[in-house]
């Protein structure tokens, strides 16, 4: 059946005076490919920061570097706290992109970040979105945590808990959530 379809395709092309490339268009069965890794973000995040965080998650998941990228984003953000000049450089929209991108590239080379992180931060610089780095990083952390099955639980009390009470709460949470409790 495939050969018949290939023959029809070749005849159709010959009527349109295109070069004949269909000498042997029949295809054999290929070996089954390995199942693709799911790189879709585990939760939906919204807004500009959400779109960039989702894109970074997909890119890092394809490269198998979710945790490494997460650590590198923390390093870059910590550098902004350590160096007011670097923070001003990142967040100042008046610095032209043609100067900001090469300078950022040089800084990231010295930090020895992965290609995923480097390309992502360069895209942020080109699109003048570096001001969203903190919120993108926070959302990326949420995506990585969700991919591991972690759920953030925040307990608010009127009074400070005694150590025994805190241990009781942890023990109560650990029974149904033993595999993810930190």
Q: What integer pLDDT is reported at residue 61 of this predicted model?
A: 95
Mean pLDDT of the chain: 81
Within 13 Å, how many C-alpha atoms sit on residue 83's CB side?
11
Residue-wise pLDDT for 81-105, tens only, equals 899 998 998 888 899 989 999 999 9
The pTM (predicted TM-score) of the whole model is 0.70
The per-residue pLDDT for range 160-174, each reduced to its tens digit, is: 888 898 888 888 877
Tokens of 146: 């969700």
Between CA 53 and CA 75 the distance in angstroms is 17
Question: In the 8-state DSSP scheme, what is residue 40?
Answer: S
- Rounded percentage of the chain residues whose pLDDT exceeds 90: 47
User: Distance of CA 161 to CAs 140, 168, 169, Å?
Assistant: 31, 10, 10
pLDDT in tens, the chain (182 residues): 445 444 544 455 555 554 445 444 555 555 555 456 778 898 899 999 999 999 999 999 999 999 999 999 999 989 988 999 989 988 888 999 899 999 999 999 999 999 999 999 999 999 999 999 999 999 999 999 999 887 777 788 888 888 898 888 888 877 665 555 45
Cα distances (Å, whole numbers) of residue 135 to 45, 84, 126, 144: 11, 19, 18, 14
């Amino acid at each position: 059946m495939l050969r018949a379809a290939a023959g029809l395709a070749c005849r159709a092309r010959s009527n349109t005076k295109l070069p004949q490339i269909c000498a042997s268009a029949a295809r054999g069965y290929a070996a089954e490919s390995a199942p693709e890794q799911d790189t879709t973000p585990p939760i939906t995040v919204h807004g500009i920061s959400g779109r960039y965080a989702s894109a970074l998650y997909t890119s890092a998941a394809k490269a198998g570097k979710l945790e490494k990228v997460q650590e590198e984003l923390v390093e870059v953000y910590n550098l902004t706290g350590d160096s007011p000049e670097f923070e001003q450089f990142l967040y100042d929209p008046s610095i032209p992109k043609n100067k900001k991108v090469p300078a950022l590239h040089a800084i990231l080379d010295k930090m020895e970040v992965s290609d995923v992180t480097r390309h992502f931060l360069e895209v942020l610089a080109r699109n003048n979105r570096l001001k969203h780095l903190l919120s993108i990083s926070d959302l990326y952390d949420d995506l990585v945590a969700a991919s591991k099955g972690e759920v953030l639980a925040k307990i608010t009390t009127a009074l400070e808990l005694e150590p025994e009470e805190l241990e009781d709460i942890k023990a109560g949470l650990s029974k149904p959530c033993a595999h993810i409790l930190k």
